[in-house]
Amino acid sequence: SQNPDEALRYDQPVLVKMELMDKDELSEGFPKTPERLFGRYRAIIIDDLEAEFFTQEQMHLIERFVSERGGALLTLGGQESYRAGGYEHTPVGRMLPVYLDRGVTMAAVQDGRFDLTREGWLEAWTRLRSKQEDDEARMVTMPGFYTVNQVTSIKPGASVLATVSDAAQHAHPALVVQRFGAGKVGSVMIGDLWRWGMHDPESHADLDKAWRQLARWLVADVPDRVEVACVPRENESAGAMNVQVRVRDEGFRPMEDTLVKLRVTGPDKKEQTLFAEPSLVEAGLFEAAVYSRTPGAYRVVATVEKSATKGQDAATDLKFAEKGGGWAFDAEWQEWQSLEANRDLMSRMANDTGGRLLSLDEVGQLPDLLKTIEVPMHDLLSEPLWHAPWFMVLVLGLLLAEWVLRRKAGGI
């Protein structure tokens, strides 16, 4: 439109939330607290939006969303993105895989040709065909691009997965990704990617597929509030698994006032119920030992229940999350995967039990060692201090002593 007022009316930021649970959820704008952002969203996509739209606190919140919560950030090209949007020297700019403060004036890209780099060919989500030659033929038919946010260098650890080459065959980064803290960041430097979908119906379908695969990559490895991991127990027999459940609140802080129940189903389809105990070394971690006896697949489902708050029925718990995991057990495979003697394991067992590892030449010393060696019996028990009765008696005794002292001193 030629009317500046009408153009300004249409040039307004738009917040779009996928799978919206509450129609008024974004009515107050971009989230301002970790509870509103971390617990409800897995990825953030910023497209053609200047940095001034966000407050400084919101930018730091986005940085924490990626680095601490493990979320994903995707920035798209446009006339108000990257340097043109004022993102240099901002928390969002620090996360990007490209340098924004090293820009130089370069000629605009004309009829840029899209191509994958060597690293790009290794990523399944950047390819649209099962065979490389088919993908190469597809990219030859792609239209040229004219709006490219040009950068001179990428940051250490970043990977350029796709480029756009100009008429001089100079390759400009088109798709760059990197890990940032616990999360990941991707940048699409092309601003007119829509030209791809306008070429023909097949290209439109390819563009849709590319966006779907990019979205799956964004959210694929983003952690949930409840995560289940099945780890073999060290220094124990084959089949001994340690089921670890990490629980976080809406702000993705470790959560301890919960009950974690495990339902384990073995190859015989029989189900057993266990309760995971809080870890003594990590907040928000609950653990339980499970021993596999029958070869086959095992599945575990963790149910996390939170105690009812004031105003709710105190006799009931509130189930707020359920997450599954599993493992496979094959005793014969683990036994015969190596035909060599596991001397490291035997040496560790001997040291832990106060014994001694003998070589074949030292077998003659065995009768004398059996007469003199001590066989200690140890049983390691761990129990939270607040579960001990004597601790409660001690606390009550200290309170009583304080009351007596105050009484004598005239403090009461």
> Using CA atoms, how far apart are residues 329 and 292, in angstroms rounded to an integer?
7
pLDDT value at position 273?
94
Q: Based on the number of CB atoms within 10 Å of its own CB, is 48 exposed (0-12), middle (13-18) or buried (19 or more)?
A: middle
Classify domain 4-219 by CATH architecture: 3-Layer(aba) Sandwich (3.40)
Q: How many CB atoms sit inside 10 A of residue 292's CB?
A: 21
The DSSP annotation for 185-208 comes to EEEE-BS-THHHHTS-HHHHHHHH
| HEC secondary structure over 1-53 | CCCHHHHHHHCCCCCCCCCCCCCCCCCCCCCCCHHHHCCCCCEEEEECCCHHH
> Using CA atoms, how far apart are residues 82 and 172, in angstroms rounded to an integer?
15
pLDDT value at position 346?
85
Could you tell me where the DSSP H helices lie in 69-152? Answer: 91-95, 118-121, 132-140
Q: From residue 107, how far is each of 9, 151, 168, 304, 375 by CA, in Å? A: 32, 12, 11, 57, 80
CA angle 181, 277, 323 (to 5 degrees): 55
Q: In what order do the strands lie in the sheet with 72-76?
A: 43-47, 72-76, 183-188, 171-180, 159-165, 113-116
Q: Based on the number of CB atoms within 10 Å of its own CB, is 273 exposed (0-12), middle (13-18) or buried (19 or more)?
A: exposed
Residue reference for tokens 């599993």: 326
The DSSP annotation for 158-172 comes to -EEEEEEE-TT--EE
Query: Could you give phi then psi for residue 332, rounded to 5 degrees?
Result: -65, -40
316 token code pair: 């009931």
Query: Can you give the residue ranges of every domain in the chain?
Result: 4-219, 230-335
Instruction: Report the CATH number of the 230-335 domain.
Output: 2.60.40.10
pLDDT value at position 340?
80
149 token code pair: 């946010």
> Using CA atoms, how far apart are residues 336 and 65, in angstroms rounded to an integer?
45
> Using CA atoms, how far apart are residues 333 and 343, in angstroms rounded to an integer?
19
265 token code pair: 């189903």
pLDDT value at position 408?
85
In tens digits, the chain (412 residues) has pLDDT values of 455 555 545 556 666 666 655 666 677 788 999 998 998 899 999 998 999 999 999 999 999 999 999 999 999 988 889 998 999 999 999 999 999 876 566 667 888 999 999 999 999 999 999 999 999 999 999 999 999 998 889 999 999 999 999 888 899 999 999 999 999 999 999 999 999 998 889 999 999 999 999 999 999 999 999 999 999 887 677 788 999 999 998 899 999 889 999 999 999 999 999 999 999 999 999 999 999 888 899 999 999 988 655 554 444 445 667 899 999 988 777 677 777 888 888 888 888 777 888 888 888 888 888 777 766 666 677 777 777 788 888 989 999 999 999 888 875 5
pLDDT value at position 233?
86
Strands 285-291 and 277-278: antiparallel
For the whole model, what pTM was predicted? 0.74
